[in-house]
Structure 1
Amino acid sequence: MRKYKFLFAISVIAIGLMSVLLASINEKKAEKEQLLAVPQIEKKWETKSEEFRKHYPRETDSWKQTKNSDNIDDMLKAHPEMVVLWAGYPFSKDYNAPRGHFYAIDDVSNTLRTAAPVDKESGPLPSACWTCKSPDVPRIMDEQGNSEYFTGKWAKYGADIVNPVGCLDCHNPKTMELQIGRSYLNDALKAEGKSPTFENATQQDMRTLVCAQCHVEYYFKKTPLENGKVAMAVTLPWADGTTVEDMEKYYDNIEFSDWVHQISKTPMLKAQHPEYETWKTGAHGRNNVSCADCHMPYTQEGGIKYTDHKIGNPLENMDKTCMNCHRVSEKSLLANIQDKKIRKDDLNQRALEQLVAAHLEAGKAWELGATQEEMKDILTDIRHAQWRWDFSAASHSAFFHAPEETLKTLGTALDKVANARIKLAKILAKYGASDYVAPVITDKKQAQELIGLPMEKLIEEKKEFTNGLLQEWKKEAEEKGLFNPKSREGIENKTSY
């Protein structure tokens, strides 16, 4: 009798455990079915990423972790030579290493480069400077048309572009399929004639192209409109190809320059952030390893597999990124990467120092009476040298994406600036200044004083803007239903000034 009672008890326990297991399996199955089903986002252009959390909590929570990348790395303090290289251009005032997507709006609003507008019509920068900062941009492009969006000043949309890079930048809210809301990318892909366009892109292609909406080289093309307005339209210079030489040729052929250098009088090019173009020339690009494969790896949580949206450094998560393909130890792979970075950093510093000297020597030559004809070839060498240095520097992970191409690019930059300085030595000797030695740049303050930047005034004006008009923009955006102030609670306002 006792034996049967014991067996009965064991059976009850077993049935109970099986019931719990079955309930757990059913719960996971239901959750998977819920995830596979595509819920409807209420608004066609829902730009507040927090609104997606009710349906995609894991993805949204991981996206929010981009706010952990909040350090301000002052690149002008680290490399004060850049101040002189960008003399006469806004980057000489303020330039920090990129932070997480969560801070895209904060950083473009706080930087000294966007200055201190006093209303929606004041400058200095065009509205196009918002283009890669927010999902509000494709919303406005859809509502107003691309041409209208690209007219006016940056301050024009201060109360309308308020949400940082998020869900709607890459996803169709109805289907959650990858989408691209900035048509200039497709225009450039068609002009290049080599890459897949939107019409024939595979899912794997799209896992890179959604990033290429913003992580590319571009310029603002001055475009007169029929209504008398002028659009400064974001345009990618890919008609001749996507290498540094191809784009240099494109810009030279249309005689484009971003600005004229304050000291050397060189018509300059400012590289933006050509990660896509650099990636294409490296091993990952040639093998179609997408941006998302490394920067947004798949993550397992219980029985649920999802894409990690904490977009950042793949080396912080190597077991889910690098080690999926590389059959070496993490230690060995990291050592190899560090060696590549050291080589790039060495050439980068050499190029910085040589370019500073070239600009200052050119300035001295002008001061002594050098002619336009004497300086013509020198200015071309400086233009091409700095473009190539900047292309390598502005593509922040160039040494990783395409180490050989990056070293080649920096090497040709050094060749061209050396040619410029040899020619300058002859001109300086002709005008009796063969003993001229350009000052060595040692810190940011010295460099900014050298080019005559009134930093105290610029900073004071910026603080007045951030404490005044910027707060009015946020309040207006909240009243329009575009901005949720709770999404920014606890966020420290950081700058390098």
Structure 2
Amino acid sequence: MKFNKVLIAMAVPMALAGCSSDDGNDVTCGEGSVLNPDNNMCEVVPGPPPTECGEGTVLDPDTNSCVIPPSEGPIDYYNSANWAEKFPAEFASWAETEENTPEAGPDDLLEANPNLVVAWAGYGFAKDYNRARGHHFALTDVIASLRTGNPMVSEDGTVVGEAMPANCWSCKTPDSARMFDQVGEGYFSDNSWSTWGHEMSNTIGCADCHELGEDKLRLSRPFTDRAMTEIGRTFGQQEIAEQGNQVCAQCHVEYYFDGTDNRNVKYPWDFWVPGVETNYAEQAGYQGDDDLYLGFTAEAQLAYYDAIGFKDWTNAISGAPSLKAQHPEYENLADRQSAGMSSHMDFTCVTCHMPKASNDDGVEYFRHNVRFDANALPSSCQGCHDADAFDTMLSARKATINELRFGTNGSDARLTELHVKAQAIWSANGIKGINDGATIGEAKANYEGALAAGTELAGEMNGLLTQIRNAQWFWDSATASHGIHAHNPEEAIRLLTKTNAIIDAALVDADALLTKYAADYVYNPADYDSKAKNQPHAGLNLEKMQADKDTFIEERVKKEWPVDLQL
């Protein structure tokens, strides 16, 4: 009503001034009024109806629209948008991670390499495994992944379809760090993944790496702080360059969920001596003389897992007690033995993935669009390498690694062969697997029971499956490490060479057991050459999994969770 009165007050004098006592004259109406042809009079244009704002909003007089009033409470620094005013250049570059989507190559890595389905049968990664997108998409991608299942609340209040523990949020959002502070790390970890969905709204951002509202680096994940102290690299005692590496190591590492300690995240670094070739056989209680545990991170972590009797899961095709390497980029960087020139040893995560730039005032800052761009590298790099030279060098390294994986007697296809042959040995001895009609859970239980039976077969299969476990661990330690061809290509070659040597020996043992128990068996690799074939072999129904996930997103995530999905 006030708005209308203002318009009338403005328009009436103009209308009167534009009118004449001579009806025959042309009439010019002022701003805010129009001519009525019936009476040749200027009339006020009706104003818009008054705007009524709902609860929690107020009227902005400049736009005549309802807006949420500024918060009178503390600033929510877990939302990266609230850093923009104080750090505009850094925020603007961070926002560009929205543009970091795969530019070439397959998005579905299971489709591109079906051997992965067999290697991870019975584990979440056999359901889906896609190319990484930028940090902007981290929260969306973990929610949309088939790996996290479709946890729905049933009529009696119980949750069905839960697939993952709470700590699967840990590397996807600063809200997990907020929850550690609010409810405690142990309580957070002891719950299921979907328990905390209503708390997760912010993707990877400022609060993950910085003290709230400041540019000072911090470790927001207590498990990383503990791990760095374990290897003598306490965060507060490090130079800024190593602190930068460590904030990346809050996610870019190998880790597992420690079932003895509230399912907290733990790094298996108890034995690891960074950068020093070490024989970890003693820590593993190993009596062999074959250098199985001689090496760097991968050997140290295998020794640790073997010492505590840990496995991530039982492979649903072979029954192998398996380990899943996550993405040990920090470890690979720390284990570098050479890098062309000695000066390269000083390069850090930030050097290549967050190079310096200058803002409009000429002030330097670190780009927060975390990616690799050869054209943006420091001048100390560009003096020797232009973008084309980098591309040529990295492509050559990838080709060497891929030959060890996919060439003649490469690792990937032969790991599939080992898993399938182990299944055939079980089947020939009456131990039912998925190929015999068992479910994933039944197959795992059958294999685990047979391995514990103390029979001759159990001894034989324990030996074979341990070889499969070891070979797959070294393979995964190399292939799951993003950018290992750039960070430490020598380590990738070493690990894959070791993998192939173990596979050689394991295939000899598998063939001997097949001769003993299933002499007529013939392995046909064509039966395992696509994702469409291998997911059913692994007991998976892709169409149903995707339908269940779609229902979960529509009926629970979009209705109950605060996340803005970037699908």
* Short-chain TM bin: 0.7 to 0.9
Contact preservation (8 Å) 2:81, 2:91: yes
Does structure 1 residue 448 correspond to structure 2 residue 506? no
Contact 1:121 1:156 in 2 (8 A): no
Q: 2:253 is matched with which residue?
A: 216
Corresponding residue number in structure 1 for 2:550? 463
Aligned mates of 2:300, 2:355 — CA distance in 1: 32
Aligned amino acid, residue 235 of structure 1: K
> With structure 2 as the length reference, what TM-score do the two structures score?
0.73
Once residues 352 and 204 of structure 1 are traced to their aligned partners in structure 2, the CA distance between those partners, rounded to angstroms, is 36
**1 or 2, which has the higher helix percentage?**
1
Provide the residue aligned with 1:66 in structure 2.
Answer: 97
- For residue 280 of structure 1, what is the aligned residue in structure 2? 334
Q: CA deviation at 1:452?
A: 2.2
Letter in 2 for 1:95: Y
Q: Deviations over 1:274-310 (max 9, x none)?
A: 1111111224698232111110000023412111111
Distance change in 2, residues 1:266/1:286 (3 Å): farther
* Among candidates 410, 413, 419, match of residue 353 of structure 1: 413
After superposition, the CA RMSD in angstroms is 2.1
Query: Against the structure 1 CA distance between its residues 100 and 330, is the aligned structure 2 distance closer, same or farther, given a 3 Å change threshold?
Result: closer
Pair 1:207-2:241 in alignment:
no
Is contact 2:374–2:390 with CA below 8 Å preserved after alignment? no
Partners of 1:286 and 1:304 lie apart in 2 by 26
1:135 aligns with 2:174: yes
Match of 1:300 in 2: 358
Report the alpha carbon displacement of residue 185 of structure 1 after superposing the two structures with TM: 1.1
TM-aligned CA distance change 1:177 to 1:418, over 3 Å: same
CA displacement 1:320-370 (0-9 Å, x = unmatched) = 247536624443333222111101112122211010000001111111128
Structure 1: how far apart are the matches of 2:333 and 2:94?
23
For 1:259, the equivalent position in structure 2 comes to 313
Alignment deviations for residues 364-413 of structure 1 (CA, whole Å, 9 cap, x no partner) = 11111281111111111100100111111110211111011110001101
User: Which residue matches 2:112?
Assistant: 78
2:300 corresponds to: 246
Q: Partner amino acid for 1:445?
A: A
2:509 to 402, 417, 423: 423
Q: Does the C-alpha gap of structure 1 residues 322 and 335 become closer, same or farther in structure 2, counting only changes over 3 Å?
A: farther
In structure 2, the partner of 1:15 is none
Q: Would you say the 8 A contact 2:245–2:348 is kept in 1?
A: yes
Q: Secondary structure at the match of 1:117?
A: strand
- Summarize deviations over 1:400-440 as a string: whole Å, max 9, x none: 11011110001101111111111011111112426521433
> Structure 2 CA distance, aligned partners of 1:137 and 1:375?
41
For 1:458 and 1:425, how far apart are their aligned partners in 2? 35
Partner SS, residue 245 of structure 1: helix
**2:418–2:507 Cα contact (<8 Å) kept:** yes
CA contact (8 A) 1:264 1:359 kept: yes
TM-aligned CA distance change 1:333 to 1:232, over 3 Å: same
2:138–2:204 CA contact under 8 A, matched in 1 = yes
- Whether the 8 Å CA contact 2:83–2:213 is kept in 1: the answer is no
1:388 equivalent in structure 2:
474
Partner of 2:28: none
Moved more, 297-306 or 386-395: 297-306
In structure 1, how many angstroms separate the alpha carbons of the residues matched to 2:545 and 2:333?
A: 37
Counterpart-to-counterpart distance in 1, 2:134 and 2:82:
20
Secondary structure of residue in 1 paired with 2:525? coil
Does the CA contact (< 8 Å) of 1:425 and 1:434 recur in 2? no
Partner of 1:162: 201
Q: How many Å separate the matches in 1 of 2:263 and 2:403?
A: 37
Cα separation, 1, equivalents of 2:374 and 2:177: 31
Q: Higher Cα Rg: structure 1 or 2?
A: 2
- 2: distance between equivalents of 1:179 and 1:166? 13
User: Cα distance, 1:173 vs. partner?
Assistant: 2.1
Alignment-derived partner of residue 289 in structure 1: 347
* Native 8 Å contact 1:294 1:322 kept in 2: no
Q: 1:232 aligns with which of 236, 241, 263?
A: 263
TM-score (norm 1): 0.82
Residue type at the aligned position of 1:261: N
Please give the residue correspondences for 1:307-456 in structure 2 after superposition, counting only pairs within 5 Å.
307-313=366-372, 316-321=373-378, 324=381, 327-349=384-406, 350-369=410-429, 371-433=457-519, 435-440=521-526, 441-456=528-543
Match of 1:54, SS? coil
Distance 1:246 1:101 in 2: 30
1:114 aligned residue (145, 148, 151): 148
Within 2, Cα distance between the matches of 1:442 and 1:432?
A: 23
Q: Which has the higher contact order (CA 8 A, sep 6+)?
A: 1
Do the aligned residues in 2 keep the contact of 1:45 with 1:139 (CA within 8 Å)? no
Q: CA deviation at 1:473?
A: 2.9
Q: 1:312 to 1:448 in 2, by over 3 A?
A: same
Q: Are the equivalent residues in 1 in contact too, given 2:478–2:491 (CA < 8 A)?
A: no
SS in 2 for 1:299: strand
Q: 3-state DSSP class of the match of 1:306? A: strand
SS in structure 2 at match of 1:437: coil
Q: Which moved further from structure 2: 100-109 or 435-444?
A: 435-444
Q: Is the 8 A contact 2:77 2:213 kept in 1?
A: no
Aligned residues: 430
Q: Choose the corresponding residue for 1:99, options 98, 116, 133.
A: 133
Would the alpha carbon gap of residues 186 and 458 (structure 1) be closer, same or farther in structure 2, given more than 3 Å must change? Answer: same
> Identity rate of aligned residues, in percent?
32
**How far does residue 249 in structure 1 lie from its aligned partner after superposition?**
0.5
Amino acid at match of 2:371: G
Aligned residue in 2 for 1:20: none
Whole-angstrom distance in 1 between the partners of 2:382 and 2:389: 14
Code of the residue aligned with 2:260 in structure 1: it is T
Gaps of 5+ in 1: 1-40, 225-230, 478-482
Deviation at 1:188, TM superposition (A): 1.4
Once the two structures are TM-superposed, the CA of residue 49 in structure 1 deviates from its matched residue by 0.6
| Partners of 2:491 and 2:370 in 1: CA distance | 25
C-alpha displacement at 1:91, in angstroms?
0.6
Q: 2:428 and 2:328 mapped to 1: Cα distance?
A: 38
When structure 1 is superposed on structure 2, of 212-221 and 412-421 the one drifting more is 412-421
